Amino acid sequence: MLRFLPLKLGRLYRCLKLLLVVGLFVILLMNTHNLFASFQKNELTDRRFINLNKCPACFGTSWCRKFMNGQVSFETWGRLRFLDVFNVKNVYFAQYGEPREGTRRVVLKRLGSNQELAEIDQKICKRATGRPRCDLIQAMYKTEFARINGDVRLLTPEVVEGWSDLVHCPSQRLLDRVVRRYAETKDSGSFLLKNLKDTERMQLLMTLAFNPEPLVLQSFPSDEGWPFAKYLGACGRVVAVNYVGEELWSFYNAPWEKRVDLARQLMDIAEQLTNNDFEFALYLLDVSFDNFAVGPRDGKVIVVDAENVLVADKRLIKQNKPESYDVWYESRFEECDREACLSFSKDSLCSRVTVDHNYYAVCQNLLSRYATWRGTTGGLLHDPPAHIAKDGQLEALLDECTRPKKRYGRFQAAKELREYLTQLAASSSASATARMAAGKVEVA
């Protein structure tokens, strides 16, 4: 009896192995399409890949000819579809070529993860039919995006207020600017909605509702000195922007002189977006090391993620004079167990003329010892030289800018911090020039 036991166990093992192989084969057959798809290449001429087939539920079509003509092509890793699982943000690097200008690097964005883009489809369907799935193109014509048609002369605040951060509290002046500078139409330059085609109007409104980043870049362009990446165009649900450089995080352990210069620029950006001649206050609601980049040649810091930017019209606030409009608004520091978190009231940002939010955001999330990112603490200005650490002025200013002890202390600390960083940057530059001159003398 015992002699047959190994034989029975052997048969059982072979049967289980056969069942396992058959099971794997069945699973493979059921997922053949997904398996093959994962080894396909990402192609910008593929209408389904760039979601051109979903227009007008898309971000635009101004760059479609460039995509289809092969003027834009993914760099190596972007072509491999099986690597998309690691590309959660759906951001790709590509080469763009013009016959007379040669090629240059650009950034292609889907403006959301796959899940977020799927949720856009569901929301459109629910708005039109009450169901999460539908014919997306037909549904667009049954939403408010289509009801605001050519008979409507202007895009007005009461129609779009609260759709996104950009229009949390829009003024007519802001909306006229958005429409006039809309880049996904051939006839840009007019603030009248009737000058847009039906599809262009729907694309504009959908962008405004779901991810207004392209509209921020168009309305406040880098060509006019705004610290944002340059908008280039869109095709389907892929938007093209100018490549700026490496993200700010890459400079976390750069030489002290470099970090001082970057910190100075960050504070300058906070000042420019808060106080400018246009009287638009642009408040950064999402501030992290990944949302800024540094130019490789000029070393200029640029905002590369502008989805969460709230724009308040100071001119309108002064005109309407809401309660406490002229009382300075101080952002409140709060302990947080997450990275890059901020405390703010959107309604207060929209109703006060003088606000310290941008200073607070930059100091807390990027510069000070309270800044945390990817498991590190200490901020961009960590480990200063001994003589600066001993002086204590830098640490005191950063602390007051982040967690003020005096009433309205952050406003004064931000001003003094900008001046102090400018002095440090100038001193570092002078020292570097002196060292270079000394080196030339020795060589001579």
Inside any domain, residue 417? yes
Inside any domain, residue 237? no
**For residue 224, which amino acid is it?**
E
Domain of residue 383 covers 246-428
Q: Return per-residue pLDDT of the chain as tens, 444 residues.
A: 444 445 455 566 676 667 765 555 544 444 444 444 434 555 788 899 899 999 999 999 999 999 999 999 988 664 555 455 555 578 899 999 987 878 899 999 998 888 999 999 999 999 888 898 999 999 999 988 888 866 778 899 999 999 999 999 999 999 999 999 999 998 777 888 888 999 999 999 999 999 999 999 999 999 999 999 999 999 999 999 999 999 999 999 999 999 999 999 999 999 999 999 999 999 999 999 999 999 999 999 999 999 999 999 999 999 999 999 999 999 988 877 788 889 899 999 999 999 999 999 999 999 999 999 988 889 999 999 999 999 999 999 999 999 999 999 999 999 999 999 999 998 876 655 555 555 555 555
The total number of structural domains in the chain stands at: 1
Inside any domain, residue 305? yes
The CATH number of residue 400's host domain is 1.10.510
Inside any domain, residue 225? no
Inside any domain, residue 281? yes
Secondary structure, 3-state, the chain = CCCHHHHHHHHHHHHHHHHHHHHHHHHHHHCHHHHHHHCCECCCCCCCCCCHHHCCCCCECCCHHHHHCCCEEECHHHHEHHHHHHCCCCEEEEEEEECCCEEEEEEEECCCCHHHHHHHHHHHHHHHHCCCCCCHHHHHCCCHHHHCCCCCCCCCHHHHCCCCCCCCCCCHHHHHHHHHCCCCCCCCCCCCHHHCCHHHHHHHHHHHHHCCHHHHHHHCCHHHCCCECCEEEEEECEEEEECCCEEHHHHCCCCHHHHHHHHHHHHHHHHHHHCCCCCEEEEECCCCHHHEEECCCCCCEEECCCCCEEEEEHHHHHHHCCCCCCCCECCCCCCCCCCCCCCCCHHHHHHCCCECHHHHHHHHHHHCCCCEECCEECCCCCCCCHHHHHHCHHHHHHHHHHCCCCCCHHHHHHHHHHHHHHHHHHHHHHHHHHHHHHHHHHHC
Encoding tokens for residue 39? Answer: 């080894």
Inside any domain, residue 326? yes
Quote the CA–CA distance of 257 and 38 in Å, as a whole number.
Answer: 45
Inside any domain, residue 414? yes
Inside any domain, residue 181? no
